[in-house]
Amino acid sequence: MITVSAFKNAPAAVQGLVRDLRVRWALEEAGMPYQTMLLALGEHKSSTYRDLQPFGQVPIFREGAIELFESGAIVLHIAERSEVLLPKDPAGRTRATAWIFAAVNSVEPVLQPFCFLDIFYPGQEWARLYRPEGERRAKTRLSELSTRLGDRDYLEDRFTVGDLMMAMVLRMTRDTDLLADYPNLAAYRTRCEARPAFQRALRDHMAAFQN
């Protein structure tokens, strides 16, 4: 049985953003059952957990002898076993894989610092000073992504693991107005989030906090 680590609780502002949701969604799309290892406050920093995840983060993925950390690596591992997430043809597979890395390397590092300013650093002077530059950088990257998406439903000719990861990154903007100028990106995120597999993953992700 696959095991995925997740938190028992998290601040309300980041519920629905914690990275175990990415893995849950991929597993739901692939039709792969799993169980969760719920971590109480502080357990993710223990030496035992750090043997699995050296940075003390969630999620980790365990399946028999396979142990993985980093959500991008885990999602790619899952996708390699599911045609729903990765096309069979080599060109389609490489394009979908490239979009995973685009999401976590090109888009997320720009969006996250700005989107989390008010969550983690409210009232701090450095955050106030950074805000204009952070917004400029975020909108530049969103404009580039919006241009690439155009009027397509997905980044390529159908939904792939690349869309899963990009939609998860775009969820970071939910408490901002960053997507107001990019209606195609807002519609794209909504379209991805409407998938039944995502809705099941989100339900189970949130259930841990509600319990």
Per-residue pLDDT tens, the chain, 211 aa: give them: 999 999 999 888 899 999 999 999 999 999 999 999 999 988 999 999 999 999 999 999 999 999 999 999 999 999 999 999 999 999 999 999 999 999 999 999 999 999 999 888 988 999 999 999 999 999 999 999 999 999 999 999 999 999 999 999 999 999 999 999 999 999 999 999 999 999 999 999 999 898 7
Domain span(s) for CATH 3.40.30.10 in the chain? 2-83+197-204
Q: Find all residues with CB under 8 Å of 98, minimum gap 6, and list them.
A: 162
What's the CA gap between 153 and 108, in Å, rounded?
A: 21
CATH architecture of 2-83+197-204: 3-Layer(aba) Sandwich (3.40)
Q: How far apart are CA 112 and CA 105, in angstroms?
A: 11
* Interatomic CA distance for residues 68 and 97, integer angstroms: 17
pTM of the model: 0.95
At 84 the three-state DSSP class reads coil
The topology (CATH level 3) of 90-195 is Glutathione S-transferase Yfyf (Class Pi); Chain A, domain 2 (1.20.1050)
Q: List every span in the chain annotated with CATH 1.20.1050.10.
A: 90-195
CB 21 within 8 A of CB 205: yes
Judge contact between 28 and 36, C-beta under 8 A.
no
- The answer to whether the CB of 16 falls within 8 A of the CB of 202 is yes
